[in-house]
Structure 1
Amino acid sequence: MNKQMLLEIVHKMKPVDLSLYYPKGDAVAFWKRALSSGVLQVDISEIRAEAVRLDGQSIPELSYTLFSIYSRTGSRLEYERVYFERRRRLNTYVFLALLEPDHPEVLEKLEDILWAICDEYTWCLPAHLPADHNAADINRYIDLFSSETGFTLSEVLLLLGERLSQLLRSRIHHEVERRLFRPFLENGPYDWETARHNWAAVCAGSIGAAALLSVEDPAMLADILLRTERAMLYYLEGFGEDGACLEGLGYWNYGFGYFTYYSDLLCSRSAGRLDWFKQEKVAQIAHFQQKCFIDGSHVANFSDSVPQVLVHMGLSHYLAEVCTDVERPPSALRAPYTEDHCSRFAPAFRNLIWTRTGKEDEAWRAASYFLPDAAWLVSRHVSEAGSFGFAAKGGHNAEPHNHNDLGHFILSGRGEIYASDLGSGEYTADYFGAGRYQYDCNGSQGHSLPIIDGQYQLAGREFSSTVLYASAEENDELTLDLTQAYQVTGLQSLIRSFVWHKEECPRLELTDTYRYAGIPASWTERFVTWREPKLFHPGTLLLPGTMTRGVEVTYDSLKVEPEITVHMYRDHFGMEKLWYSLDFHVLQLGAVGNLVFTFQFL
């Protein structure tokens, strides 16, 4: 689409008013219903509880000491905890002001935090700024969180309107223009405008949404939308036709969430002339959430994703309305108000205005999916013995938020994980730098994969797998050629196959077959778990459950010998966590090998 076409649409756009959010634009009626109906009572009580926590606390300071920690040590958590606490404070008082419009002290607290955010040196995080940035041009930098902040403040202006002072309204307009719109138009293009991952959707989507709410000049709005629409095309290129998000479900929530918030405002203001959800690929992406859950709140958490995910009900219900066959999640998976440690306003607000009444199933229905572009096999199995999950992946080792994990798998049952994916670690400078694959959660040493001649998989597009066979039927099967995942001179062939038998107590059969030029110096089959393995006798060991017996692992004790080692890593929230490597060392090495392991739920 060219600028002239966009300009014509912009000139005919519907006015900016509360009908973008509320039926007939009646905010008073909406919040009265929200207070009296049962749909949002838990959400509202959580918001009020957060307000009680904040009562009497001063606005935390974003000091120079906090700001400089990242440049000195590479640690992000210290500054970001305070930054996100300020966003939580903003969100809480916005929602309380909407729910309780007759309480002037709430509005006063809201105006104070709005003013404080306008005072911030930058809305970017230190980790997203160049080390040698200059204060004189700090506003030229735009990251995820500066974009989100501008979008948030633009929505708050519309939602609160003249209840905010004229000075504060004018200052917010000024700050959003100088920190977002002017840099975007004058200093771009930015690298994230052509990113094929969440940055394109969040940054461009937030700027486009903020512009749709606050830019009055048609030519300026058309210029911004021209760039944001192009960025969205790049974002969608990061998905295959199967709709899988290679960054994991958390980043689907994030990136596709902001894509949706922007798309909704764009569609509403353009009276449907600009509607991304008319595209089949977008509809497929909308289905990804329901394909990612394997057992309760546990998900196929490949890449930088946490093992358990709670869902944004607002986003989920919206997608179920606009896309055929998108399932509404079980109510037990609702994310509480305080669950998002980044305290993002857009999803929290839409959890209030987009959540709908209706009966949800108690759990996701049993289903199996093969996602061919991502090369993921994901299965939810339900029997009289309980619910069970299995997921395995191929792909390549240059994916967004990449882990070296080709051939890795996850196994869960009755709410517990037995074959684990460590997920995302603590984000630091080195985590996204040269030392990334020294972290167990990122390198193949922390995944259920072979170690060949002491060597792990390597990062890069050339280190890839090939799907030889896949089926998601009565039994789920996946066969992968992993030969190209390793840079081992003598390795001629490595084929890994999974067969997931969906019986009352299911079992997984894993077979690795290899050919080698000569004889490998060593060959180890590694499995990763949070359960402490218990050796029963040669050929059998147990991954114990908390409430059940767990999973029995059987192997040929004449071919391999087990070794159990305890490790520690720091998870995404900076907490130290134990994991176990269950290493099976091949005893009689040869030019060919066939290694079989069975994981049987008890």
Structure 2
Amino acid sequence: MIRKTNYSVKVNVLKVGLFIIGLLFCEFAVKAQNNKNFLTEKTNIQKVSEVLLNTDQWASIIEKKINWNDAPIAFRENIISEAESYLGTPIPSLSATLTLEYSINGNRTNYQTPWFERRNRLTNAVLAECMERKGRFLDDIVDGVWAICEESWWGFPAHHYQYGQVGLPDIEDEYVDLFAAETGVLLTWTHFLLQKELDSISPVINKRISLEIDRRILKPNLEHEDFHWMGYNGENLNNWTPWICSNWLTCILFLEKNDKKRAASVYKIMTLLDRFLKPYPVDGACDEGPAYWNRAGGSLFDCLDLLEEATNGEVAIWNETLIKNIGKYIYKAHIKEDYYVNFADATAKVKPDAALIYEYGNKINDVTLVQFAAWLAKKNADIASDNKKLDGNNRVLNGNIARQIRMIQTHKKLREETPREPVVSESWFANSQIMMMREDPHNGKGFYIAAKGGHNRESHNHNDVGSFIVYYDGKPVLIDLGLETYTKKSFSSQRYEIWITQSQYHNLPTINGEMQSAGRSFKATNVNYNPLKSTYTLDMASAYPKTACVNKWERTIYLDKEVKSVNITDVYKLSKLIKPNVLNFMTDTKPEKGKGNTLHLFASGNDKKKIIMSYPETFNVNIEPLEVADPLLKNSWGDKVYRIQLIQKKMYKASAINISLISE
């Protein structure tokens, strides 16, 4: 029976919740896509039940695939050393007062850090025991399992609001967030990998794991239709759907022994993935950016891979153009080394999962994707040497136990491939209106530009319609700040009080003293990308409120490959003059004043490669240093960034502004 819970909450809490959900799970693209039901179009529960492997068959297949002796030496040493460091140390507490902190002061990290430590300890202990088989880590594993099973809820306090709750979780309300699902998959793998060892200590341990997985993951996910990530009310879906489904599906395949529930659950997951894919732009662009691709497109791959194997190949959609393009997106958004195009809540530096990308590339027969994976592995010296910890700031979670096991299975094959860094000359994602072009596609040298149109209600939105980034020789020159550590404000009505979300801290104008506004109607118009002329044009006037009194603000970005320069031309018309217009530009290296109307910018970390920025003499220049305290921003940009403000000396109702960048 499908069940829908009625929550007893105040009206104002519901209103705030709806607003936040609107921010988190909003339109996927500028134009709504209407794809077919890739997974369920030609099947039903009965057909799924006929081909679906049972738990014993599934366990047998997985058992044969894992050879712990194949684990790379560096990975093995890293894992065992990390597990040893926890031996004899107390498991961190997750108290009620710590849980309440988020609702009191908005801090997420204080709770999430010990939460992640608990799971990181268990992950390392399980892997270490599987590789060593000496019993040294079994006590820690038992204590870790028991402590996690004793938690009132496996999710985050920051996610309570999505279910109309604040403060402490109500354990009578069954709901599953991202990290409850992550916890479920960790305990499921622990049960599978060490079932005999745990039974030898006490059969209650495995029984407890099965009971908790059933009541916290399997039962609520099958019975509920009101979890927002399921999309039953027509919500557009984001990374939550494939991410949770990949973990839920793993729990089903290992632990759900009831054949009817097993088939019904798997079929429901297929319907949810179809909902996720329904509005997905056919070009494959992830509107949450490359940093979230690991848990959007990447988790979709996890789901499809599991479905194919669990149905003996009967459920497989790798030949679909959309599925191929979702995989290809990650290398199309790659700039150089660890840098990726990072609009909205995305970090500039990303470390994608090489083993996952390798497997994805093989499934869709894409050589570039496979070679990209090999390049990622080689770049990191040893794919397995970096034991990716789960900490409070790691939003991507490369290192969950399932993906580490995949790495053990694939790393040898990965090293046999030819490593090649992808150098894509240009990309155009029409639905999200994101353009990327490169001066020298053969060597990846010179200027690289990415720009966006879209609207200001995209998933993880910043008010950034018309913004762009510029790199030179793979190093940042003009930047998008990207993501800072999430707090209570991040997904609330106060979101746009956060400085990095505001248009004045993007490469955008402040018009008549007004910044861009948030909302679906605040968007780009007349967007055009001409790859033959290397130009990108859009009108961003509609992204500003009426008080900006702007009728037109047309921006053209032109990459002159012969002169080797970037040219930005803003042509505008105002209905009223209120305040001088200001052009804002963000950079991570201190600019210097040059001769005349020029500034010297520098390609960060590139031996002070100088870029000459020319601007009209009708503007004054202000360079504002901004201290960076947030650890995520620090990881991308260091301790300080700079805002360049070009301020009009005299106001005009209509004019054209020309900015150029050329390397010295």
TM-score by length of structure 1 reads: 0.91
Aligned counterpart for 2:210 among listed residues 173, 177, 193: 173
Matched, 1:584 2:655: no
1:550-561 aligned within 5 A = 550-561=609-620
Matched, 1:140 2:171: no
* Aligned residue in 1 for 2:387: 337
CA spacing shift, 1:205–1:270, aligned 2, 3 Å: same
Q: Which has the higher contact order (CA 8 A, sep 6+)?
A: 2
* Aligned residue in 2 for 1:487: 545
Corresponding letter in the other structure for 1:495: E
The whole-number CA distance in structure 1 between the counterparts of 2:443 and 2:251 is: 50
Stretch deviating more after TM superposition (349-358 or 507-516): 349-358
* Aligned residue in 2 for 1:351: 407
Contact 1:382 1:388 in 2 (8 A): no
CA spacing shift, 1:452–1:186, aligned 2, 3 Å: same
Contact 1:370 1:471 in 2 (8 A): no
Matched, 1:81 2:113: yes
Aligned counterpart for 2:436 among listed residues 378, 390, 399: 378
The whole-number CA distance in structure 2 between the counterparts of 1:12 and 1:383 is: 47
TM-superposition CA deviations, 1:6-45 (whole Å, max 9, x none) = 2332243224358779688153xx222x14xxxx344333
CA spacing shift, 1:21–1:348, aligned 2, 3 Å: farther
TM-superposition CA deviations, 1:270-296 (whole Å, max 9, x none) = 112222434321111011110111121
How many Å apart are 1:515 and its aligned residue? 1.5
Task: Classify the secondary structure of the residue corresponding to 1:543.
Answer: strand
Stretch deviating more after TM superposition (193-202 or 350-359): 350-359
Matched, 1:92 2:128: no
Corresponding letter in the other structure for 1:432: F
* Aligned residue in 1 for 2:514: 455
Corresponding letter in the other structure for 1:61: S
Matched, 1:192 2:229: yes
Aligned counterpart for 1:207 among listed residues 245, 248, 263: 248
CA spacing shift, 1:169–1:580, aligned 2, 3 Å: same
How many Å apart are 1:387 and its aligned residue? 6.1
TM-superposition CA deviations, 1:233-268 (whole Å, max 9, x none) = 222235211100011112111122222222211111
How many Å apart are 1:215 and its aligned residue? 0.8
TM-superposition CA deviations, 1:364-411 (whole Å, max 9, x none) = 234321111111112354677946532111111110001111111112
Corresponding letter in the other structure for 2:191: L
Contact 2:153 2:171 in 1 (8 A): no
Contact 1:462 1:484 in 2 (8 A): yes
How many Å apart are 1:213 and its aligned residue? 2.1
Task: Classify the secondary structure of the residue corresponding to 1:441.
Answer: helix
List runs of 5+ in structure 1 lacking aligned partners: none
The whole-number CA distance in structure 1 between the counterparts of 2:85 and 2:646 is: 51
* Aligned residue in 2 for 1:597: 659
The whole-number CA distance in structure 2 between the counterparts of 1:435 and 1:365 is: 39
CA spacing shift, 1:140–1:572, aligned 2, 3 Å: farther
How many Å apart are 1:446 and its aligned residue? 1.3
How many Å apart are 1:574 and its aligned residue? 8.0
Stretch deviating more after TM superposition (251-260 or 300-309): 251-260
How many Å apart are 1:63 and its aligned residue? 2.1
The whole-number CA distance in structure 2 between the counterparts of 1:574 and 1:451 is: 23
* Aligned residue in 1 for 2:20: none
Matched, 1:272 2:313: yes
How many Å apart are 1:136 and its aligned residue? 5.4
Stretch deviating more after TM superposition (475-484 or 375-384): 375-384
Aligned counterpart for 1:396 among listed residues 432, 455, 459: 455
Task: Classify the secondary structure of the residue corresponding to 1:512.
Answer: strand
How many Å apart are 1:149 and its aligned residue? 1.3
Percent of aligned pairs with the same amino acid: 25
Corresponding letter in the other structure for 1:332: K
Stretch deviating more after TM superposition (445-454 or 113-122): 113-122
The whole-number CA distance in structure 2 between the counterparts of 1:219 and 1:301 is: 44
Matched, 1:158 2:199: no
The whole-number CA distance in structure 1 between the counterparts of 2:58 and 2:651 is: 71
TM-superposition CA deviations, 1:320-379 (whole Å, max 9, x none) = 110132513222155832255355333333222233332343532343211111111123
* Aligned residue in 1 for 2:354: 313
1:418-567 aligned within 5 A = 418-472=477-531, 476-489=534-547, 490-502=549-561, 506-519=564-577, 521-544=579-602, 545-567=604-626
CA spacing shift, 1:212–1:391, aligned 2, 3 Å: same
Contact 1:376 1:394 in 2 (8 A): yes
Task: Classify the secondary structure of the residue corresponding to 1:410.
Answer: strand
TM-superposition CA deviations, 1:477-506 (whole Å, max 9, x none) = 211121211124531111111112346x94
* Aligned residue in 1 for 2:19: none
The whole-number CA distance in structure 2 between the counterparts of 1:93 and 1:249 is: 31
The whole-number CA distance in structure 1 between the counterparts of 2:443 and 2:295 is: 35
How many Å apart are 1:229 and its aligned residue? 1.8
Corresponding letter in the other structure for 2:138: L
1:21-40 aligned within 5 A = 25=64, 27=66, 30-32=67-69, 34-35=70-71, 40=72
1:51-66 aligned within 5 A = 51-66=83-98
The whole-number CA distance in structure 2 between the counterparts of 1:4 and 1:281 is: 20
Stretch deviating more after TM superposition (17-26 or 286-295): 17-26
The whole-number CA distance in structure 2 between the counterparts of 1:142 and 1:24 is: 28
The whole-number CA distance in structure 2 between the counterparts of 1:556 and 1:388 is: 18
CA spacing shift, 1:15–1:547, aligned 2, 3 Å: same
Task: Classify the secondary structure of the residue corresponding to 1:389.
Answer: strand
Stretch deviating more after TM superposition (251-260 or 570-579): 570-579
Task: Classify the secondary structure of the residue corresponding to 2:44.
Answer: helix
Corresponding letter in the other structure for 2:177: D
The whole-number CA distance in structure 1 between the counterparts of 2:78 and 2:436 is: 34
